[in-house]
Structure 1
């Protein structure tokens, strides 16, 4: 129910230490992406970990590939069906592994292929491709059938986009990874995904350490009752909604704190109070892509 998020961690020394510390704490799910610019460092660390003899390493366990769940994401410049495999193979090469446990379409919108990662027009908008999410998904099904990934899913997809996929896909998406936190509860979208058998994962569960959120009196008061921090209360709220949490931190004590969520349970009233904080406030909305036909946040983006 808890993954090790690596968004924004681009320093080689820092991310390698975070992975070591996280594995020692008990994390076994590493979440990265082509666009995080850290896949190569993650891969170097994984190669080192897998080469350790049993009984060695900071966790005292010789971990093998099958012991660690690795998720990465297809970037927007690889959305045409033929390009999906190309993007995946770049990721696998950087990660020094033969397969991914989970591969997600990072965003539903695609960009002009063959150039910069975020190709922009003179007025600062993205140069978009006309590739639909359905075509991109066919490419995802291709790499799944080729055995390069164990499971496939999406990220930042709204209900409309999921419905189109479900009508035309041969392999159903396993996951929809979304920004979810008390300021963006995504009640209807989560309910839809769960009704359709799509697992929901929450990135930025603390709204990227938004201090206003972490100082909310409701969260502070609930936390005091359980001797827990507001961050732990938030993640417990997500877990009780049957949502996988993908928090990110570079501090070891936070890694421990984020993993210590199973010795308390929120009441129904606690859950209701936290829901009341919802204000439909989004941290990640990618404004340069706002005129893309697949932009997810203004077309049934609930």
Structure 2
């Protein structure tokens, strides 16, 4: 499995296993078991996914395994990511959120902690606090203030690496101006229908590695049946998802696909025996439609809502 070097010198596997939506105990345990067995060494979770405790329990079993030593993996071989939720954006609450996630996972340490979204919502109470109009109850905490809490966490040794998710160029620029520690990662929705070329360039030029979630546009059948992708899949004897993952990897982007099916777990990392040609990379990128599947419209009036303009050149 290839790795990306973060700007703090830690190494991050280029393909990770996403766990969004997997909350059933047995299903998640099986996915982690199968994923680790076929070669995944990067697991992505979040407070909002409500599965940190189950994930941590299963990983501890794998780390301590004696009955099947060939299935045993050391903690140092795994890279685990979690994320700060929007109701914990004040500097003190950043630490509290990290403490809670670390306690639930209970795997010794966290490799990467991300600010899940730039918008700060009312602290305490509901995970998505809504007013009578169905809009989020917002606070005026800026991304710079939240980032100071993330820097505190890294400085205190509570987490190895820190980063952000769903942040646009303006938000990253403000952080970079004030930061003592620059973000190591920006996790974004990226796929052939949402290529984010400008934002990816900005991040990579700034020393921020990019991760792609929803690489298949949440199973968008229109995307998966695109003739360009199907022809390339036929040419390389691969599936359309494998072609998409390869396209992302060749852009220098780490990928976080999610699935509960063992066959697809194996398929999604079987992408290192072929290489797309430059013109094929461009043909895939031309599929861009700026179609976003994750846009949190109920928070669209928040001052830090990122999707009005993700990038400009």
Scaled by the length of structure 1, the TM-score of the pair is 0.97
Deviation per CA, 1:244-276, whole angstroms, max 9, x where unpaired?
Answer: 000000000000100100000001111111011
Question: In 1, are the aligned partners of 2:35 and 2:265 still within 8 Å (CA)?
Answer: yes
Task: Return the alpha-carbon distance in structure 1 between the equivalents of residues 240 and 72 of structure 2.
Answer: 34
Aligned counterpart for 1:230 among listed residues 222, 240, 251: 240
Task: Return the alpha-carbon distance in structure 1 between the equivalents of residues 102 and 22 of structure 2.
Answer: 19
Name the residue aligned to 2:111: 101
What number of residue pairs does the alignment pair up?
299
Task: Return the alpha-carbon distance in structure 2 between the equivalents of residues 41 and 301 of structure 1.
Answer: 37
Task: Return the alpha-carbon distance in structure 1 between the equivalents of residues 137 and 311 of structure 2.
Answer: 22
Q: CA RMSD in A?
A: 1.0
Shift of 1:300: 4.2
Name the residue aligned to 2:52: 39
Deviation per CA, 1:31-78, whole angstroms, max 9, x where unpaired?
Answer: 00000111111011112112213x726xx1422221110000000010
Task: Return the alpha-carbon distance in structure 1 between the equivalents of residues 261 and 197 of structure 2.
Answer: 31
Deviation per CA, 1:165-202, whole angstroms, max 9, x where unpaired?
Answer: 00000001000000000000000000000011100000
Question: In 2, are the aligned partners of 1:99 and 1:147 still within 8 Å (CA)?
Answer: no
Shift of 1:95: 0.6
Q: List, as ranges, runs of 4+ consecutive aligned residues in structure 1 with deviation greater than 6 Å.
A: none
Name the residue aligned to 2:155: 145
Shift of 1:96: 1.3
Name the residue aligned to 1:219: 229
Aligned counterpart for 1:253 among listed residues 240, 260, 263: 263
Specify every segment of 5 or more residues in structure 2 that has no aligned partner in the other structure, as ranges.
Answer: 1-13
Name the residue aligned to 1:263: 273
1:121-200 counterparts in 2 under 5 A?
A: 121-200=131-210
Question: In 1, are the aligned partners of 2:117 and 2:167 still within 8 Å (CA)?
Answer: yes
Task: Return the alpha-carbon distance in structure 2 between the equivalents of residues 36 and 64 of structure 1.
Answer: 24
Name the residue aligned to 1:21: 34
Single out whichever of 285-294 and 43-52 deviates more from structure 2. Answer: 43-52
Name the residue aligned to 2:7: none
Single out whichever of 62-71 and 251-260 deviates more from structure 2. Answer: 62-71
Asked if residue 293 in structure 1 is aligned to residue 303 in structure 2, the reply is: yes
Task: Return the alpha-carbon distance in structure 2 between the equivalents of residues 257 and 97 of structure 1.
Answer: 28
Shift of 1:299: 3.5
Name the residue aligned to 2:61: 48
Specify every segment of 5 or more residues in structure 1 that has no aligned partner in the other structure, as ranges.
Answer: none
